[in-house]
Structure 1
C-alpha cells in the first residue's frame, strides 16, 4: 500500500522539490528552526483559541451548551487528528523529504482553520479540528527531527527546544487575540479568532521556500554534493574543509552505510529486539509529558480559575498570566538543556510538578464547596469569594506548576526523543511513533478531563501528581543521558544496556575518534581524493593529447 501511495505522489513531489531547490535559501540554523517550528505555534494557537471561548456565552449559545462529554470530544478532536498525522508523516517525509511534510502540515492546518471558522454546528467544528490536527501531527513529527538533523551538535538541544517555545508563544499570542475578540458580542468573536489561525499556516507555507532540505535526507537519496553544500553553509559559512563540516559528513556517511547494509525499515523494525527498549522509552517520554497534567492547565484553565472563584474578565486575565509564564520560562530552558543535561531537568521537573499538583488538590479539597448553580455543568465546586487566601494559593500552585513544566519537561522531552534513537535509520519512524503516542494521550486527557472535573473535581489533580512521581522513577532508571553525544555513542549505550544513572559519565567501549582526529582524517581523505581526481584529469588530458598527435600524424 505504501509503495503504491509513494508512486502516486512521486511526480508531484519531484516537481515541488525541484521548485523549492530553485528558490533563494537562508542557511542560518536559527532562522531555519524559526520556520520549521511554526508547526508548534499552530498547536499553541489551537489551545488558546479553544480555551478562551469555552466559557463564553457566545460559544455556549451558538453550540447549544455542550456538556462535559461533548466538550471533551470537541477539544480532543484536534489531538485525535494529530495522532493520525504523526503516523502518516513518515510515509511522506522519508521518501519525499522534510520540506514537503512541512508543506503538508501548512496545507491541512489552513484547510482545517477555514472549516472551523465557518462552522455551522458541532459536527463541522469537530471535522475542522481533526483536519487541523492532521497538519499539526505532520509538523510535530517532522519539525523536531528536521532540527536535530540540521543543527550542529553543540546547539542541538537549543534548536530542538525551539519547538516547545513556539508552542508556548502561539498559546500566548492567540490567547490575547482571542481575549480582544471576546469583547465582540456574538459568533463573530470566535469565528474571526479561528480564521486568524490561517496566518501561521501561510507563514510556514511560504517560509519552507526559504529553507534547505535536511542534509541527512539528501545523503540517503544519494545527493552527496547537495548534502555537503548545505552542511558547509549551515555550520561553516560555506567552507567545506572546516573540521565541523568534515566530521558531520563523516557521521552521515557512517549512518548511510549502516542503513544500506541493513534490511528496509518499517514500523515493525522499532519492535525488534535491538530497538524495542528505546522505542518503549521514547514513547513513554511523550506519554509522561502529557500525564504531567500540563494540557489540563492549558485546555481547561478557565475551569480551574472558576473553581478558584474567578469569573468573567478576571478569569481571563488570571489565565493570561499563566500563558505568559509558560512562554517566558521556556526561554532559559533552551540554554540550560545543553549545559545541565536532559536527565537532571526531567527528574527535577517531575519533583517540582508533583509538589504543586498535590498542593493544588489539597487547597481545593480543603477549601472548595459544592456549587449547585454553576453556570457550567463541568465545574461543580468553588472556593468562596471571602476566602481570598485559598483562592490565591490555588492560583499560585497553578502558576508554579506551569513554571516547572515550561523550564523542564516542555523543552527537554522533544529534545531527548529526537536524540534518543541513536540510529538515523529508524529516527524518522521512531519519532513519528513517539509523537503519535503523545497525541493519542493528549486526546485521552482532553476527552477525559471535563468528565473528571464533573465527577471527582479536585481529586483529578491527585491523579496527575501520582503520575509525576511515576515518571520521576522511570527517568532515573530508564532514560540515558544524550547531551553532547554522537548518534553512534547513544546507540552503543542502548546496545550495551548501560544503566541510565551511569550514562552521563559513560565512555564508549569501542572508542570513537575525537573530533580533532576525525577532522584530520577527513581532511587528509579530502585532499587525497582531490589529488586523485586531479591526477585522473591530468592523465585523461595526456591521453587525449597523445590521441590528437596520433591523429595528426595519420
Structure 2
C-alpha cells in the first residue's frame, strides 16, 4: 500500500483531528443567539446553556484520559482511526437531536473523539517531525482548529440566515461528519510513529519510517542514523522502566515535566480564549450589536485568529517557546484589564440585551468600540502566542515511555478547564458582568511568573535532547544557551561518512 512520507502532507491530513475540535466549538457558538436554536430548545437560561456548551469538554476530558492507554496499546494511527469513527457517530447524534438531553449526549460523544485527537495528533506529529521544524508541524494542529472554527461558523451563518426551522442547525451539525470521514480515509495511507514502533521493538519498521520521512528513503543518511540512535537509546531506557501509570507521571524524575505539560494546557484555557471563542456573540451583543451584524463581526474575529496563527507557524521554531508564552500572557493581561475598565466606565445594568435575559450589562459610546477593538487584538495575540505554543510545548516535554499518557493527561487538563470555563463564562456574564475580565487578568499575571521560573526552552531540539535538558536541571531562563547536541552528532556522522569515503578512495588508488 502507498504510504505518505511528506511531513507537511501528513500534518495537513493528520490535523483534521484538530479541525474536529474547531467544528464543534463554532457549531455551538454560532447558534446560541439564533432564533431557530432558541425556539427549538426553549430558550435555555445561562446555566443550561453553559452546560450544553461545556458537555463537549466533558466528553473530551474522558477521551483524553483514555487516549494514552489506547495509543500505547494499538498505536498512534489506529487510535486516531477509532476517534474518527466516534466523531461521525457524534455528528449523527447531534444532527438528530430532539431535545437538550439528546443534544448533550451527541456533544459528549463528539467530545470523546476530540479528546483522543487533541492529545494524540500532537504526539503523532511530534514523533514524526524533524526537530528543526517540529514546532510548525505540531502547531498546524492549532491552525487546523482555527480553520475548523471558521469553516463551521460560516456554514452555520449560511444556514441560520438561509434556512428556517430546526433544519438550519441539523444540516450544520450533520456536515460535521464529513471531515471525520476524510480523516479516517487518509489514515490508511499514514505510517506508524517510528517511536511507537521502537517501543514495540519493531526496529526494521522504525528505521524504514525514519528513512522515508527524514532521509528520502536512505537508511544511511546522517540525520536518520542520529535520530535512530537516539530513539533506540530512549526505547532502551523505557524498557528498563516499570510500566507507566498515571501516578508514575508524578515520580521523582518526571514530575517537573508533568507539571509543565499539564500547566501549559491549564494556562492556555485560563488565559481567556474561551471568552473569545465560545461567547463572542455575547460580547458583541453587550457592545450594542445585533442580528447579522453580530454574526459577521464574530466571523471577522475568527479570520483574525486564523491569519495570526498562520503568520506565526513558519517562524515559531526560530522565536522559541518561552518568548511567545511570556509575551502572550503579559499582553493578554493588559487587554483583560483594559476591557474590564471600558465595560465598567461606560456600561450599566439592564434587565436583558436584545431580549436575551442571560446578558444584563450594556456598553455604549466609544467604550463599546474599545471593547470590540480589544477583543479583536486579544484574539490576534492569542493566535500568535498561546494558541499554537501550548499544544506544541505539552507534546515535547515527556520522554518516550511517558509521552502518550503524559500528553493525554495534559490534554485532559485542558479539557477539564475548558469544561469549567465553558460552563462558568455564561453565568459570569450574567452575574458579575465586567468583573469576569478582572479574573482572567489575574490568571494572566500568575501564569507569567510561573512560565518564567519553570518552563525551559524546547525549540529546535530533538525529543531525546529535551530529556537531557530536564534531567540536568538547567535553570529555565538559561536553557536556551545549552548547546545543540543533536546538530553536533549529525555533523560528526557527516564528517565520519566523508572520512570513510576518503579512506575507500585512497585504498582504491593504492590498489590501482
Q: TM (normalized to structure 2)?
A: 0.94
Contact 2:465 2:486 in 1 (8 A): no
The residue correspondences of 1:197-208 to structure 2 (distance < 5 A) are: 197-208=176-187
Q: Paired residue for 1:229?
A: 208
Verify: 1:497 aligned to 2:476, yes or no. no
- Structure 2 counterpart of 1:40: 18
Is 2:190 the counterpart of 1:215? Answer: no
* SS at 2:42 equivalent: coil
Q: CA deviation at 1:90?
A: 1.4
Give 1:511 shift: 10
The answer as to 2:85 corresponding to 1:110 is no
SS for the counterpart of 1:485 is: coil
The whole-number CA distance in structure 1 between the counterparts of 2:60 and 2:309 is 23
Instruction: Determine which structure has more spread, i.e. the larger CA radius of gyration.
Output: 1
Quote the residue 2:401 is aligned against: 425
Q: CA deviation at 1:210?
A: 1.6
> 1:333 offset after TM fit, Å?
1.6
Shift in CA distance, 373/255, structure 1 to aligned 2, threshold 3 Å: closer
| Cα displacement (A) at 1:425 | 1.4
Decide whether aligned partners of structure 1 residues 242 and 182 sit closer, same or farther in structure 2, where only a CA change above 3 A counts.
same
- Per mean C-alpha deviation after superposition, the further-off stretch among 365-374 and 396-405 is 365-374
Paired residue for 2:157? 179
Contact 2:280–2:298 (Cα < 8 Å) also in 1: yes
Q: What residue in structure 1 maps to residue 381 of structure 2?
A: 404
Counterparts of 1:153-552 in structure 2, within 5 Å, are 153-183=131-161, 184-374=163-353, 375-384=355-364, 387=365, 389-421=366-398, 423-507=399-483, 514-518=489-493
Q: CA deviation at 1:487?
A: 3.0
Q: Is the 8 A contact 1:247 1:519 kept in 2?
A: no
Contact 2:55–2:108, Cα closer than 8 Å, also in 1:
yes
Residues of 1 paired with 2:280 and 2:394: CA distance? 28
Moved more, 193-202 or 274-283: 274-283
Write the distance in 1 (CA, Å) between the matches of 2:16 and 2:302.
Answer: 18
Partners of 2:171 and 2:413 in 1: CA distance: 32
Question: Structure 2 stretches of 5 or more lacking a match?
Answer: 501-512
Distance, in Å, in 1 between the alignment partners of 2:334 and 2:178 is 39
More contact order relative to length (CA 8 Å, sep ≥ 6): 2
For 1:17-36, what aligned pairs fall within 5 Å after superposition? 23-36=1-14
Residue deviations 1:301-329 (CA, integer Å, cap 9, x gap): 00000110001000011111000000000
1:265-313 alpha-carbon deviations (Å, 9 max, x no partner): 2212101111112111210100000001101110010000011000100
In the TM superposition, what is the alpha-carbon distance from 1:506 to its structure 2 partner?
Answer: 2.6
Residues 431 and 521 from structure 1, CA distance in 2 versus in 1: closer, same or farther, beyond 3 angstroms?
farther
**2-side partners of 1:522 and 1:143: how far apart?**
35
Indicate the residue corresponding to 2:75 in structure 1. 97
Deviates further, 488-497 or 208-217: 488-497
Structure 1 residue runs without a partner (length 5+): 1-22, 526-554
Instruction: Give 1:479 deviation, angstroms.
Output: 0.4
Deviations 1:434-454 (CA, angstroms, capped at 9, x unpaired): 110000000000011111111
- SS of structure 2 residue aligned to 1:492: helix
CA distance in 2, matches of 1:148, 1:38: 16
Alignment of 1:131-170 (within 5 A): 131-170=109-148
Contact 2:15–2:140 (Cα < 8 Å) also in 1: yes
Secondary structure of the structure 2 residue equivalent to 1:42: helix
Q: Which residue of 2 aligns with 1:7?
A: none
Structure 2: how far apart are the matches of 1:491 and 1:226?
24
Cα gap change, 1:373 to 1:260, in 2 (>3 Å): closer
405 and 35 in structure 1: CA distance in 2 versus 1, 3 angstrom threshold: same
The 8 Å contact of residues 68 and 406 in structure 2, kept in 1 or not, is answered as no
CA distance in 2, matches of 1:455, 1:194: 31
What's the offset of the Cα at 1:485? Answer: 2.0
RMSD: 1.7
Task: Please state how far the C-alpha of 1:343 moved relative to its aligned partner.
Answer: 0.3
Match of 1:533 in 2: none
Q: Is the 8 A contact 2:77 2:187 kept in 1?
A: yes
Q: Residue 521 of structure 1: CA displacement?
A: 6.3
> 1:306-359: per-residue Cα shift (whole Å, max 9, x none)?
110001000011111000000000012212210011000110111111111111
What is the CA distance between 1:513 and its match in structure 2? 5.6
C-alpha separation in 2, matches of 1:489 and 1:236: 20
Cα 1:493/1:358, change in 2 over 3 Å: same
What residue number does 2:504 align with? none
- 2-side partners of 1:136 and 1:86: how far apart? 8
SS of 1:482's partner is coil
Q: Report the Cα offset of residue 512 of structure 1.
A: 9.6
Cα distance in 2 for residues equivalent to 1:116 and 1:30: 32
